[in-house]
Structure 1
C-alpha cells in the first residue's frame, strides 16, 4: 500500500536519511516482532481466528479515531464500500488468518521469512497486470526466492518435522494475498483516497468480515479480569499493530517509497532474531541457506524497485522544472 500523494515527489521527502533510517528500522522491528507474538498467543489459548479478529478491530478503532481527531470525514459510498471490502478481504482477513492458523505449527522465523516475500510475489503479478515492465534482475530475484522456498519444503531435515510442510505451503497464501491486494489497490484505488482512509476502511471492513467467522467457529477470545498473560499479549499486538500503521505513514512522509521498499528484509531478520531468543529456534544448513537466498532475492527485487522510483522522481522534477 504505497501512498502516491504529491508529497512523494518532493525532494525534501528524501532529505532526512537518518530519521528515515531510524523509522525504517523501527517499523521493521515492529512488524518482525509480530510473528513471535502471534506464535506465543496462539500456543497459549488464543484461537487464531479470534486473534485475527482483535488484530483488525483494535487497530480499526485506533486508526479511525486518529482520522476523526484530524477532522477527516471518512467517505463511504457503494463503490468505496466495495473497494474497502476487497482490500479488507485480501489485505487483512485472508493473509492474517492464514498466517495465524500456521503460527502454532511453524517456527516464528520461518513464518516471517515466507510471509515477507510479498515484493517477490507482487512483481510477476504486476507484470501480468501490465503495471510493471520486464526486468532480468527482478526475475533473478524470483528464482533465488523459489530456490530458498524449495530448501525449506523439500529436504526432510529442513523443518523440525515433516508435518510442518503442509503448514509452510499454506503460509504461502499470505504473501500471495498481500500481493494481490497491492495490485488491486494500485489499479483501482480512488483518486481521493489517501493511506489513512485506506487503512481505516480496510480495517473496519475486515473486522466486519471476521465477526461472523469468529462466532460461527466459536473462536471469540474474551479478555479476563485481571488480565492473564495471553490477554496482555493480544493487547500488546493491538498496540504494536496500531503503532505500525502510524510508523508506516510517517516513514512514507519522511523518506518516501524508496526507503519503505527495504522494510521486508528488516522484518525477516527481526522475525528470525526473536524466534531464536524467545523460542530457541535454530537454523540448520537448509534453513540458513534458504534465509540467505530469500534475503538476497529481496535485495535484488527491491533494489531495482528503488532505482525505478528514484528515476520516476527525477523525471517528475525535470518535467516540473
Structure 2
C-alpha cells in the first residue's frame, strides 16, 4: 500500500507506521548494553579493590582523566577528527560532565562513607527508572509498552538481587536521601545529553570532550581534597586495580556515547541491569562471594528485561 492517501478532498496524508529496528540493529544495541554493563561491573570491582589497597580516589581520577584525554585527543588528531570547541560545545560539555560524570561520582564517594555498600548499589541500580520518568515527562524519546515492561522487569530483578544484603545495617534517612542524588543527577545528565547532542560531533568526539572537561574540573576538586598522587606508594594490587579502572573508564566513554546516540538515554541506562549481574560474577571471581540460586534466577530476568528494552531505538 502506498504511504499516501490520494483522497481528492483531503489531500495527501502520510500514514505513521511504526518501524521496528532490524534484527542486526537490535543485536548491536543488545551487544552494546551487555558490553557497557559488563564494564560497569568490572569498574565497581576494581574501584572496590582500589579502596581496599588505599588508593586515593580524587588524585587517581584526575590522573586517569588526564591520561585518557591525552590518548583520545591523539586518536582524534590521527583520524583527522580533532575539533576546536565552540561556546555551544562548552555549554553542552559542562553540564554533561558535572551531572553524568563528576557530580554523580562525588555523591557516590561521599555517600559510601555513610551508606552500606549493598544499599548504595541498590539505589544506584534504580537509574533506569529515573531516566524513564524524565524521558516520559519531557517526551524526549518514544517509549513503547515493551520497553516500559523491560525497564520495570529489569529494576525488579536487579532489586531482588540486592535487597537481601541492602538493609543489613540501614543508614540514616538523611544519608539515604542524599544518595538518591547520584542516580537523579545522572538521569538528568543522560536525558540532557541525548536531547542536546551537538549535531556536528560523533560519539568519539563527544567522549573526548567529556574526558577533557572532566580533567579540567578535577583539578580544583583534587586541590581542595588535599590528595597527592604517588605511584611509588601503590601496592601491586592497587596499581593493577587502578589500571583496570582506567581501562573500564575508556571503554565506558566510547561505548556509552555510541549507545546513547544509537539507542537513546533510556536504553543506555539499562546497562545497570547487566552491571548488577556482572557484579555477581566479578564478586565471585575476585572476592570469593558465592551468589545464591535466587540471585542467579534474578540475573536471568535482567537479561530477559534487556530483550524487551531493546524494542525500539530512540
User: TM-score higher than 0.5 here?
Assistant: yes
2:286 is matched with which residue?
Answer: 278
Q: Are 2:45 and 2:279, in contact at CA under 8 Å, matched by a contact in 1?
A: yes
* Cα RMSD for the two superposed structures: 4.4
Query: Where do 5+ consecutive residues of structure 1 fail to align?
Result: 1-8, 313-321
Greater C-alpha Rg: 2
**What is the rounded CA distance, in whole Å, between the counterparts of 2:22 and 2:136 in structure 1?**
31
1:64 is matched with which residue?
Answer: 73
1:111-130 equivalences under 5 Å are: 114-130=123-139
**What is the rounded CA distance, in whole Å, between the counterparts of 2:42 and 2:57 in structure 1?**
17
What's the secondary structure of 2:311's corresponding residue? helix
Say if 2:90 is the partner of 1:81.
yes
What do the CA deviations read for 1:106-145 (whole angstroms, capped 9, x no partner)? 7767655543433222010112222246766627955984
Say if 2:248 is the partner of 1:243.
no
2:8 is matched with which residue?
Answer: none
What's the secondary structure of 2:231's corresponding residue? coil
**What is the rounded CA distance, in whole Å, between the counterparts of 2:184 and 2:103 in structure 1?**
10
Q: Are 1:60 and 1:203, in contact at CA under 8 Å, matched by a contact in 2?
A: yes
Say if 2:24 is the partner of 1:14.
yes
2:59 to 37, 47, 50: 50
**What is the rounded CA distance, in whole Å, between the counterparts of 1:49 and 1:172 in structure 2?**
21
1:319 is matched with which residue?
Answer: none
1:85-100 equivalences under 5 Å are: 85-100=94-109
**What is the rounded CA distance, in whole Å, between the counterparts of 1:158 and 1:250 in structure 2?**
32
Say if 2:273 is the partner of 1:265.
yes
Q: Are 2:93 and 2:213, in contact at CA under 8 Å, matched by a contact in 1?
A: yes
Higher helix fraction: Structure 1 or Structure 2?
A: 1
Q: Are 2:204 and 2:254, in contact at CA under 8 Å, matched by a contact in 1?
A: no
Q: Are 2:151 and 2:270, in contact at CA under 8 Å, matched by a contact in 1?
A: no
Q: Are 1:39 and 1:103, in contact at CA under 8 Å, matched by a contact in 2?
A: no
Change (3 A) 1:274 1:152: closer
Q: Are 1:56 and 1:207, in contact at CA under 8 Å, matched by a contact in 2?
A: yes
User: How many matched pairs?
Assistant: 293
Change (3 A) 1:115 1:16: closer
Query: Where do 5+ consecutive residues of structure 2 fail to align?
Result: 1-18
1:186-197 equivalences under 5 Å are: 186-197=194-205
**What is the rounded CA distance, in whole Å, between the counterparts of 1:75 and 1:129 in structure 2?**
31
Which moved further from structure 2: 139-148 or 30-39?
139-148
**What is the rounded CA distance, in whole Å, between the counterparts of 1:217 and 1:176 in structure 2?**
24
TM-score w.r.t. the length of structure 1 is: 0.70
